[in-house]
Amino acid sequence: MVEHNIVVVNKSGLHARPASNLVKAASKFKAKISIIKAEKTYDVKSILGILSAGISCGTEIDLVCDGEDEVQALQSLSELIESGLGE
């Protein structure tokens, strides 16, 4: 299991479009991928899971990956989130 702390930079937070981009990217990996926010865990491969987290700009999250391709997943998704998820 690997994890990385990230501050969300999207001005509107993780609303539908960036959340969809994140789910699409996460679905390419076999690892279990989660976001931890305020001690609650959300499934990154679920659009409803991400949206229910209510992640706004400036929110600090932990991205956690666990599985055979966890390192690649963490690196790829961390870069994607830190770059603004295509927004």
**Which residues partner with 43 through β-bridges?**
34
Helix, coil or strand: residue 18? helix
Q: Which residues are catalytic?
A: 15
Distance (Å, rounded) from C-alpha 84 to C-alpha 76?
13
CA atoms within 13 A on the CB side of 9: 12
